Amino acid sequence: MAIKEISVPDIGGATDVEIIEILVKPGDTIQEDSNLITLESEKAAMDVPSPMAGVVKALKVKVGDKVSQGDVILTVDAAGATDDNNKKTQQADTTKDAKPQHSEQSDSGSALKEVLVPDIGGAENVDVIEVAVKVGDKLAADDPILTLESEKAAMDVPAPFAGTVQEVKVKKGDKVSQGHVIIMMSAQETDATTTTAPAKTEVPQQSAPVAPKAAPAPVKTAPVSSQGILYAGPAVRRLAYELGIDLNQIQGSGDKGRITKQDLQNHIKKGLQGGGVGMAMPAAPVIDFSQFGDISVEALSRINKLTGQNMQRNWLSVPHVTQFEDADITDMEAFRQANKAQAEKQGFKLTPLAIILKAVVMALKQYPRFNSSLDSNGEQLILKHYYHIGVAVDTPNGLVVPVLRDVDRKGIFELAAELAKISQKAREGKLTLNDMKGGCFTISSLGGIGGTAFTPIVNAPEVAILGVSKAQTKAVYNGKEFVPRLMLPLSLSYDHRVIDGALGARFTVFLSQCLSDIRKLLL
């Protein structure tokens, strides 16, 4: 077994670049140049391809990690594949060294030829976006060797004759022009595939180099890939990531099942039309506002854009109902005032939110359907037996939702301290993806700001969200007289596919009772 570490290559000096996708898992068989991870920096998204073939043993990174050149990504059992490749590369190198110009014979008795970039319509310095072959591959005539992509088009370069790849001279990301050597191939007359490929008989067997004809990428409906590895360029991956689209759902039409931008657009179109005739979203008109007066333009932050996409998806896909209720928190507020100084001594603020977190867990335990998610086909409900609660935090860069874990196992002071810490971390823009994962239910508190009620958007795949507005002292009739009571407005939005109106009202009333009599939190 030859276990090798694969680390982040030179990424143009960028450091702490975020991993937005991991494309392989332990047990996957990968080829040299199979994409392993996708990185996204401020400026670009890029795939990191494998420098060797083998079987993935262990992943050393996860989505959301930030990496720099030299950080280990994963370990690979490179036994067999790499050794074999090395031998073949050495063999080809020896042949090349002995006969540097136009090589003639390999030890199998067949000619070694250079395969060049063909006439590509005068385009220069065209990007190699995929190398489809590796040393040792046996190719039939017209098998794709690599894919080039210029400003205007993508094209495959096919093998001009059947044979075995002896050396690969280019790699993904290289820029090439007509006449560049791309691979060294030995023609194999004895190979069964060559006898069935009529084109190869035209190829002069001893005269090297050979330039194939460039062919537009053929449309194939091959499966995603033979190893289950997904082929898609960084631009397509980035777009899919931004739109929250799982590329595994898309059948690629490119070579090796490569997913093209067009495939992604078709998938989105299909999705929009999926709701039935007339359900597609009408396009918004483009308006030039400067015709009405002065304007200025401001770029949205990355968080703004992601929040916008999530909100739109949740708003469109979840049938929302919002239930309102006022909780009498007069006694709760007295308790909070009584304990505020003690919390401050310990370095944090005791706000109503810490107590609301506890009450929400009580309500989730009483009505477990609120602590669930619909599975992806909408046929089953996944009930969770843990209580991780997300809290919406307003930051200078936009809205983020860090998650407090195991709220059921923590006391009110502990929660208040954690809340202070995590909202501080959020405001400093230091939250990790892990800090925001795994929530069961979300609380959005605007109580520190004001307002009487609002309709929060469910943070799918959660099924409900609690909006909290500013508590106000109101005159409440107790059956005999009006008395001043501190009333906290609650706005509970829920997914009507999972929760019906009666259950929504029961949950809200129960929550309100827990807040009105916080002794219930001890039960």
**Which residue in the list 326, 440, 495, 514 is annotated as catalytic?**
440
Beta bridge partners of 391: 443
**Residue 393 in contact with ligand CAO, rule: CB under 6 A:** yes
**505 Cα distance to chain centroid:** 36
Closer to ligand CAO at the Cβ: 456 or 504?
456
**Among 8, 239, 468, 518, contact with ligand CAO (rule: CB under 6 A):** 468
**Among 174, 331, 394, 408, contact with ligand CAO (rule: CB under 6 A):** 394
**Among 26, 448, 451, 501, contact with ligand CAO (rule: CB under 6 A):** 448
CA distances, 302 to each of 21, 265, 297, 419, 439 (Å) = 17, 22, 16, 24, 21
**Which residue in the list 16, 375, 500, 517 is annotated as catalytic?**
500
Q: Which residue has 């333009």 as its token pair?
A: 297
CB of 384 to ligand CAO, least distance (A): 22
Length in residues, the chain: 523
3-state SS assignment for residue 322: strand
| CB contact at 8 A, 337 and 514 | no
CB of 322 to ligand CAO, least distance (A): 11
Of residues 307, 321, 299, the one with CA closest to residue 401: 307
Does residue 496 carry a catalytic annotation? yes
3-state SS assignment for residue 58: strand
**Residue 464 in contact with ligand CAO, rule: CB under 6 A:** no
Does residue 408 carry a catalytic annotation? no
Closer to ligand CAO at the Cβ: 6 or 350?
350
Give how many residues touch ligand CAO by CB under 6 A: 22
3-state SS assignment for residue 97: helix
Per DSSP, the residues of 214-233 read PEEPPP----S-TTSPPPB-
Closer to ligand CAO at the Cβ: 393 or 440?
393
**Among 176, 446, 466, 515, contact with ligand CAO (rule: CB under 6 A):** 446
Query: How far apart (Å, rounded) are the C-alpha atoms in residues 147 and 130?
Result: 5
Nearest residue to ligand CAO by CB is 447
**Residue 95 in contact with ligand CAO, rule: CB under 6 A:** no
| CB contact at 8 A, 447 and 471 | yes
**Among 76, 129, 135, 353, contact with ligand CAO (rule: CB under 6 A):** 353
Here the tokens at position 107 are 């030890």
**Residue 189 in contact with ligand CAO, rule: CB under 6 A:** no
**Residue 351 in contact with ligand CAO, rule: CB under 6 A:** yes
CB of 343 to ligand CAO, least distance (A): 10
| CB contact at 8 A, 457 and 314 | yes
Residue ranges in contact with ligand CAO by CB under 6 A: 349, 351-353, 391-394, 399, 419, 423, 444-448, 456-457, 468, 470-471, 488
